[in-house]
Amino acid sequence: MNAAADLVADAVVKRFDDHVAVDSLSFSVARGSFFSILGPSGCGKTTLLRMIAGFIAPDGGEIAIGGASMRGIAPNRRPVNMVFQQLALFPMMTVGENVAFGLARRGMPRGERRRRSEAMLERVGLGGAAHKRVDELSGGQRQRVAIARSLVLEPTLLLLDEPLGALDLKLREHMKIELKQLQAAFGTTFVYITHDQSEALVLSDHVGVMNRGRFEQLGTPQDLYYRPQTPFVAGFVGANNRIEGIAARPDGALIEVTTPDGWMIRARREGSIGAGDAVEAFVRPEIATLARREPDLPHGQPPHAGEVQSVLFDGANSAVLLVEARTRREFRIALPQTGQFADLKPQERVWFCFDPGRATCFPARQAQGRRG
Amino acid sequence: MADAAATEHAATEHAAPGLAAPGPVAPSRWSGRIALWLLLAPALLWLLALIVLPHVELALLSFRERVGPRQYVASLAQYRTFFDEPLYWHVFIRTAWMSILSTLLTLLLAFPTAWVIAKIARGRAGALLFAVCLIPFWVSETVRTLGWIILLRESGVLPALLVKLGITAVPVELLYRDATILVGLVYTSMLFMLVPLVSSLESLDDSLIEAAYDLGAGGFAILRTIVIPHAAPGITAGCIIVFMLTLGNYLTPTLLGGKNSAWFTEQIYTQFITRFNWEQGAALGFLLLALSTGLVVSGLRLTGQRFGDVMRRT
């Protein structure tokens, strides 16, 4: 593995009774990078993070941080600090005491402690707040205190457990940018867990998409978005139209998919698919083009007829929800920013098409019992 | 009780038309205020009749001296006796000291118990443990103390066991010792320490402990910097309750300590009941009140707590 990796997990396993929370997971995180673990709740990401922090011991495998094995090392002796979901700032202490807490545990003299914690608060934009009580701060300021409290210890690895989950939307958007800037400024390796794909895409250098205790795909945000390798990743990362059907004859990289009710589309083949196999195809809303008349569609892409169901206006993320004319299957298309379709009405007849090379088609997942 | 129920009933009836009134017609301020006073009435009545009036009477008693049959003059003689007679203030100081010791012992024993109930057992198991701690209190204090006598007296269970194990040659008398009194007092007041401690530890967010652990703190540092500061109001409340109960306890020291117990409440009892010297008894009673108030206030000062905070948070 990479010599400059700050975190290396090798075949890490954790079971709870007969349920496997983390299933033989191996990955490494390069020094100074921002790594996210993205997955739905119950996928095992919190268990993984708590194993890295040392709160629970793996049943098998090895975790190494900064090149040293962490087997049998207690959380208070690991070069790792964690930003908790609810932040867990100490309400019985001032902001300054919170930040100096870890330094005090290392036996640093009081004067040095104060100097360092104040310098750290300065760096996160909270200079002069050292004497304040924790409950006098706003949500975003508390967030920064929680990060400062960890970073002042200069950990090899900073773990963040969905720290933006408790914030309201506006603040969350703001803190996303701030987190990324902080990471760039400090150069500390961040391991971030979240169920919010937008957070993972915006913040990370690399993302591991986790499902049922395993990584479905590990790659850059662009990889995950444009080249998903499993149906789970295609469905979980970004919005997608999912079309189930039966594969027809492969045609080079492309394949023809027919739904049980007879709608035929074409998509790029991913994995081995033979004629007659059950498949799932995914078409992103933004790769489809909308037109009022068939001739206005770009040439060379198979046209489909549709009927507008509803217009979902959301500023730059506006979309139209329509149904395919014959099968009444729902299909979502992102609206262009030109305002060209601002006057679309429900029941209106429209045409759409998409580049089959940018849609993906996977072998259908075996019928799996889904967990909550 | 019937009185209280009737008052509440009256208050509800009174408030009802105001609440049922449609539209913007608010119940008048007067009706709200009357309802408040009616609801408070039983408590105020109780305070006045059972606490304030007897104390006024006792205060008057303590400041007079009997000079002849049915002849009394105002004087400080009762208080002077207390300071002139070494027995009184020796017992006074001993009672205070033993009560403080017993409170600290109770805290020391109750804290780990409360921790197990609130943080380790939790849920059903925690409730079960709590019930186990509560069960002895279904029996009256007298019966519980007699239980200790059966265990500890010379012909009792424990001395016999010590002989059988060859630790002592003959059965020893374990009653009538200071340590025995402390055991009894701690046992009696355990629950009153446990309740506020459990509730204050339950409200401690586990992630604070984990965060401290993650930031490099060991077990003792977590206890000192996180757990105790968080539980301080509960600890203080428990200590105040236990200290007052212990200081004012009569039964346990008398039964377990016998003639050697020298508890201050016994002196008061003797004045009132045996000597029929109500004036002296009243003075001693007020001195005990002053002692407990003084010690509680200085305890709060010492730990930097405020009484209002403690009562509000427990």
- Which of A232, A262, A281 terminates a domain? The answer is A232
Do A153 and A251 have their domain in common? no
What's the mean pLDDT in A122-139? Answer: 91
Residue B19: its pLDDT value, please?
45
Residue B26: its pLDDT value, please?
56
Q: What's the longest Cα–Cα distance across chain A?
A: 77
Q: What torsion, rounded to 10 degrees, do the Cα atoms A327, A332, A336, A342 define? A: 70
A270 inside domain: yes
Report pLDDT digits (tens) over A328-346.
999 999 998 887 888 888 9
Do B37 and B148 have their domain in common? no
Do A213 and A310 have their domain in common? no
Query: Which SS3 state, helix, strand or coil, does residue A354 take?
Result: strand
**Residue of B207, B215, B220 to mutate, testing the A interface (most A Cβ within 10 Å of its Cβ):** B215
B19 inside domain: yes
Residue A225: which of A48, A358, A35 has the closest Cα? A358
What are φ and ψ of residue B308, in 5° steps? -60, -45
Do B108 and B226 have their domain in common? yes
- What CATH number should be reported for the domain holding residue A213? 3.40.50.300
Give the domain extent around A340: 240-363
Pick B205's closest partner by Cβ from A75, A88, A153.
A88
A291 inside domain: yes
How many independent structural domains does chain A possess?
2
What's the mean pLDDT in A61-73? Answer: 93
Environment class of B308 (CB within 10 Å of its CB; exposed 0-12, middle 13-18, buried 19+): exposed
Q: How far is A2 from chain B (nearest CA, A)?
A: 27
* CB interface of A with B, residues 32-91, below 8 Å: 53, 55, 74-77, 80-82, 84-86, 88-90
Q: A133 and chain B: CB distance < 8 Å anywhere?
A: no
A372 inside domain: no
- What CATH number should be reported for the domain holding residue A335? 2.40.50.140
Do A83 and A172 have their domain in common? yes
What single DSSP character describes residue A84? B
B39 inside domain: yes
Do B96 and B211 have their domain in common? yes
B159 inside domain: yes
Tell me if A90 and B208 make a contact (CB, 8 A cut-off): yes
Residue A193: which of A44, A9, A24 has the closest Cα? A44
B154 inside domain: yes
Tell me if A86 and B207 make a contact (CB, 8 A cut-off): yes
Do B30 and B165 have their domain in common? no
Which one has a higher pLDDT value, A45 or A249?
A45
Do B25 and B104 have their domain in common? no
Pick B217's closest partner by Cβ from A76, A84, A92.
A76
Do A99 and A38 have their domain in common? yes
B118 inside domain: yes
What is the residue-level pLDDT of chain B in tens, covering all 314 positions?
Answer: 344 444 444 444 444 444 444 445 556 778 888 999 999 999 999 999 888 999 999 999 999 888 888 888 888 888 999 999 898 989 999 999 999 999 999 999 999 999 999 999 878 888 899 888 888 888 888 898 899 999 998 888 999 999 999 988 888 888 888 999 999 999 999 999 999 999 999 999 999 999 999 999 999 999 999 999 999 999 999 999 999 999 999 999 999 988 778 899 998 998 999 988 889 999 999 999 998 999 899 888 888 877 777 777 65
- The sign of the dihedral angle between the CA atoms of B119, B120, B124, B125 is negative
Residue A12: which of A68, A59, A56 has the closest Cα? A59
Which one has a higher pLDDT value, B68 or A151?
A151
B135 inside domain: yes
- What spatial distance separates the first Cα and last Cα of chain A, rounded to whole Å? 35
What are φ and ψ of residue A197, in 5° steps? -65, -30
Tell me if B211 and A90 make a contact (CB, 8 A cut-off): yes
A133 inside domain: yes
A339 inside domain: yes
- Which of A216, A232, A248 terminates a domain? The answer is A232
Do B35 and B93 have their domain in common? no
Exposure letters A189-225 (e unless 16+ CB within 10 A, then b): bbbbbbbbbebbbebbbbbbbbbbbbbbbbbebebbb
Six-digit token pair at A98? Answer: 């919170």
Do A25 and A165 have their domain in common? yes
Tell me if B210 and A75 make a contact (CB, 8 A cut-off): yes
Do A207 and A177 have their domain in common? yes
Q: How many cross-chain Cβ pairs, A to B, lie less than 8 Å apart?
A: 58
Do A281 and A316 have their domain in common? yes
Pick B216's closest partner by Cβ from A88, A92, A105.
A105
Give the domain extent around B18: 1-49
Do A148 and A48 have their domain in common? yes
A24 inside domain: yes
B61 inside domain: no
CA distance A162 to A157: 16
A58 inside domain: yes
- What CATH number should be reported for the domain holding residue B288? 1.10.3720.10
B105 inside domain: yes
- Which of A232, A248, A270 terminates a domain? The answer is A232
Residue B307: its pLDDT value, please?
78
Six-digit token pair at B139? Answer: 């029996």
Do A136 and A34 have their domain in common? yes
pLDDT classification of A55: cutoffs 50, 70, 90: very high
Residue A366: its pLDDT value, please?
63
Do A85 and A215 have their domain in common? yes
Residue A178: which of A164, A198, A162 has the closest Cα? A164
Q: A361 and chain B: CB distance < 8 Å anywhere?
A: no
Strand stretches in A150-303, DSSP E: 157-161, 189-194, 206-211, 214-219, 241-251, 254-258, 264-269, 278-283, 288-291
Residue B69: its pLDDT value, please?
84
pLDDT classification of A2: cutoffs 50, 70, 90: very low
Do A133 and A198 have their domain in common? yes
Find chain B residues with C-beta within 8 A of A134's C-beta.
Answer: none
Residue A339: its pLDDT value, please?
77
Cβ atoms B198, B111 nearer than 8 A: no
What are φ and ψ of residue B260, in 5° steps? -80, -10
HSE, side-chain direction, 13 A CA sphere, residue A5: 18
Beta bridge mates, A158: A81, A190
What's the mean pLDDT in A11-38? Answer: 93
A175 inside domain: yes
**Residue of B208, B214, B220, B225 to mutate, testing the A interface (most A Cβ within 10 Å of its Cβ):** B214
How many independent structural domains does chain B possess?
2
> A179-183, A223-227, A266-270, B306-310: lowest mean pLDDT where?
B306-310
CA distance B271 to B277: 5
Do A204 and A311 have their domain in common? no
**Residue of A92, A133, A145 to mutate, testing the B interface (most B Cβ within 10 Å of its Cβ):** A92
Report pLDDT digits (tens) over A257-269.
999 998 999 999 8
Do B164 and B237 have their domain in common? yes
Residue B152: which of B191, B179, B117, B125 has the closest Cα? B179
CA distances from residue B39 to A259, B12, B42, B48, B91 in whole angstroms, order as listed: 72, 10, 7, 15, 43
Six-digit token pair at B51? Answer: 């606490």
